[in-house]
Amino acid sequence: MTGPLLEVTDLMKHYPVRAGVLRRQVGTVHAVDGVSFSVGVGETLGLVGESGCGKSTVARSVLRLVEPTSGQIRLDGEDITHLSKTELRPHRRSMQIVFQDPFASLNPRMTAGDIVGEPLAVHGLGAGKALEARVEKLFEQVGLRPDQMRNFPHQFSGGQRQRICIARALALDPRLIVCDEPVSALDVSIQAQVINLLIDLQKQHGFSYLFIAHDLAVVAHISHRVAVMYLGRIVEIAGKDELFRNPRHPYTQALLASVPVANPLAKKLAPLVDGDVPSPVNPPPGCAFHTRCRFAMERCRTERPVLMDAGDGHQVACLLNEGTGRSA
Amino acid sequence: MTDTSNLVLEVKNLKTVFFTNSGLFKAVDDVSFTVSRGETLAIVGESGCGKSVTALSLMRLVPDPPGRIVGGSVTLEGSDLLALNEAGMRKIRGNRISMIFQEPMTSLNPVMRIGDQIVEAVRLHRNVSSKEAQTIAVEMLRLVRIPEPVRRAREYPHQLSGGMRQRAMIAMALACRPALLIADEPTTALDVTIQAQILALILDLQKELGTGLVLITHDLGVVAQTAQRVIVMYAGRKVEEASVEALFAAPKHPYTRGLMASIPAVPASGVAAQERLNEIPGTVPSLVRLPPGCAFAPRCKLAIKRCEAEYPPLADWGGGHLAACWRAAEVAEVA
């Protein structure tokens, strides 16, 4: 196979806003507003953005956990956007997800072993002793002891719970694992353990990650390529090195500059953007970022920039970057 | 080393314990520190290390039962807060010492207008008319750079964004010009661009008003960018204290060093593809079953027999750099 594992084209997800006794639609939340990207085999694509930018909706649409309004999702070249539930079932095996909150995503009444074994049982891939042996192996792979299989989720720490979630995702030998903020709820020292585990597992199994996070530093460590989202759109996408060395979109620049550096000699905490993210109910016309952008021109208010190639697989949606021009 | 005439807060041997079904645990165990006028002291540590309970102890807001402050003293501008009765404490709280919390939505009253909430705080402590208090409230909202403060004062918390709510909280906390402001993870719930705005605002106002600031955070980046001095806590104890420059240049405690090594950094000039992070093995121990010696010993690469048996005292390594580790001298060489 030569093509990318996952290919998303012009994905849109709109939610109606209803109000009043008649529940009439009074507006539309443009949660995801035309997003295209691809994830190669064995590759990690980081998706970063602030709350409400639509990154989680992208994750859930890719897995068809929410139905996209329009657009196309191709897995291994096959269009899965409109498959029915039964048709989708075999594909579900190759796509798994790890959620942010390991406290909310594990059934408190099931033992850890049952949780990890459930996907196998559901897909009829094992029972009895064989199933148990497989679960044991999964536990070892994620750094848990097989004797912990009998324990319930509340007997595990946050980091261990996230390991259970990862083991459950691994159970079906997926080709793509969507990680939705998998380390945000964890302490710093535990965060590093889980990130390392994810990196190691990918090296062993060769699956791909769609890795969603708001923390740029975390994304920088685990990704091969990074896409930056703002108000439902991808504003910049590039190889990791290229993006961090040479951010071209003013929003990416502001995002990078806002991260407090753990070095007291490099004091620089100067906010590059004022104000708040506008509401996705009525996103500003033109470039959605123009209301907070230092470089906004008249055209930015009316013309919606599209992702354009800036060389080396670096794409950016900003009018300042037309041609070879660079911002700042 | 700090000028005592400028001292706002002095905490000595603070001990706060919780009585629970699974036993007694020491949430804050023998913690001492000081804060001067206009100074920022950061308290860092992971969840359960006792940093928030320390803050609540200073405010005398530890829920009792199950918690109780069982020892030490908290001296604010010369008066011992632990000796005050509840009425006396209420006069100080929100007036001389105030606090902002992590989640502004849960700490603001959802059915009260923003302006009225500030008015309430002002009129509780200052002898002003309702009209004057209204003016002060609007002034405070302007001070925290909320656009259109007159209109915003009439709005309810749900009408404000997360960043704006936190600004309103700051306005309320500073309305009576307290000597000490405690900020408990003030930006953890906020997006990174908003975090930068809020931190810059807190520091600006602190400089302008000369408030002492205790900033509680888990983010070493935030510490480096805001604090003058830092306390590192682990399992209820202060394990290291230093000026921010000294701490980041040469951490003495293996825990601090491990923490610094495990944070992923935004690469200034790119990193190699998928770099493994340094991890601290294991997890934070349960406060109910703490080992007799150093609580970090089970996770520490440098641990020796002595670490498991005896708790190391805080030793001064020069210039007020304190560390509680038997092997602090070797930390720099090994790592």
Same domain, B183 and B90: yes
Q: Which residue type is seen at B134? A: Q
| Percent of chain A surpassing pLDDT 90 | 58
Name the 3-class secondary structure at B97: strand
Residues of A in contact with B193 (CB under 8 A): 50, 254-255, 258, 271-273
What CA–CA distances, in Å, run from B31 to A163, A206, B19, B231? 34, 49, 19, 10
A315's tokens: 């794409």
Same domain, B168 and B187: no
Same domain, B199 and B156: no
pLDDT at A170 > cutoff 60? yes
Residue B223 inside a domain? The answer is: yes
Q: Which whole number is the average pLDDT over A178-184? A: 92
- Residue-wise pLDDT tens digits, B22-61: 888 889 999 999 999 999 999 999 888 899 999 999 999 9
- pTM for this entry: 0.86
Tell me what pLDDT residue B157 has: 92
Residues of B in contact with A202 (CB under 8 A): 274
- Residue-wise pLDDT tens digits, A303-322: 999 999 888 889 999 998 77
Residues of A in contact with B279 (CB under 8 A): 189, 192-193, 196
Q: What's B196's domain CATH number?
A: 3.40.50.300
Tell me what pLDDT residue A321 has: 79
B186's tokens: 């003030």
Q: What total of structural domains would you count in chain B?
A: 2
**A55-59 contacts: CB < 8 A, separation 24 or more?**
A55/A212, A55/A214, A55/A229, A56/A180, A56/A181, A56/A212, A57/A13, A57/A31, A57/A32, A58/A8, A58/A11, A58/A32, A58/A212, A58/A229, A59/A97, A59/A178, A59/A180, A59/A210, A59/A212
What sign has the CA pseudo-torsion B252, B258, B263, B266? positive
Residue B88 inside a domain? The answer is: yes
Residue B67 inside a domain? The answer is: yes
Residue B142 inside a domain? The answer is: yes
Same domain, B46 and B73: yes
Token pair 């990193």 in the structure block, residue: B271
Determine whether the interchain pair B271/A221 forms a contact, defined as Cβ–Cβ distance below 8 Å: yes
Tell me what pLDDT residue B3 has: 54
Q: How far is B73 from chain A (nearest CA, A)?
A: 30
Residue B150 inside a domain? The answer is: yes
| Percent of chain B surpassing pLDDT 90 | 60
- Domain's final residue, options B245, B262, B279: B262
pLDDT at A271 > cutoff 80? no
- Domain's final residue, options B235, B262, B289: B262
Tell me what pLDDT residue B335 has: 47
Q: How far apart are CA A69 and CA A32, in angstroms?
A: 9
Picking from A51, A184, A187 by the largest number of B CB atoms within 10 A of its own CB, the best residue to mutate is: A187
Q: Which whole number is the average pLDDT over B199-226? A: 91
When mean pLDDT is compared across A14-28, A169-183, B35-49, B132-146, the lowest value belongs to A14-28
Same domain, B132 and B242: no
Same domain, B73 and B1: yes
Tell me what pLDDT residue A120 has: 93
Residue B80 inside a domain? The answer is: yes
- Residue-wise pLDDT tens digits, B268-303: 544 555 677 888 888 888 787 788 899 999 999 899
Determine whether the interchain pair A270/B274 forms a contact, defined as Cβ–Cβ distance below 8 Å: no
Residue B112 inside a domain? The answer is: yes
Same domain, B89 and B182: yes
**Which residue in the set B162, B196, B263 is minimally distant from A269, CB to CB?**
B196
Give residue B135's domain range. Answer: 107-175
> Which residues are bridge partners to B32 per DSSP?
none
Same domain, B25 and B14: yes
Same domain, B12 and B160: no
Q: How far apart are CA B287 and CA B298, in angstroms?
A: 14
Same domain, B73 and B187: yes
| Mean pLDDT of all residues belonging to chain A | 89
What lies within 8 Å, CB to CB, of A82 at 6+ separation is none
Tell me what pLDDT residue B333 has: 63
B18's tokens: 């919780």
- Residue-wise pLDDT tens digits, A182-225: 998 888 888 889 999 999 999 999 999 999 998 888 898 899 99
State the ipTM, two decimals. 0.80
Alpha helices in B60-191 (DSSP H): 86-92, 104-107, 114-125, 130-143, 149-153, 162-174
pLDDT at B199 > cutoff 80? yes
- Domain's final residue, options B157, B175, B193: B175
Same domain, B20 and B49: yes
- Domains of chain A (ranges; CATH) run 1-48+70-223 (3.40.50.300), 231-327 (no CATH)
When mean pLDDT is compared across B23-27, B262-266, B322-326, the lowest value belongs to B262-266
Residue B237 inside a domain? The answer is: yes
- Residue-wise pLDDT tens digits, A43-95: 999 999 988 889 999 999 999 999 999 999 999 989 999 999 899 988 999 99
Same domain, B73 and B191: yes
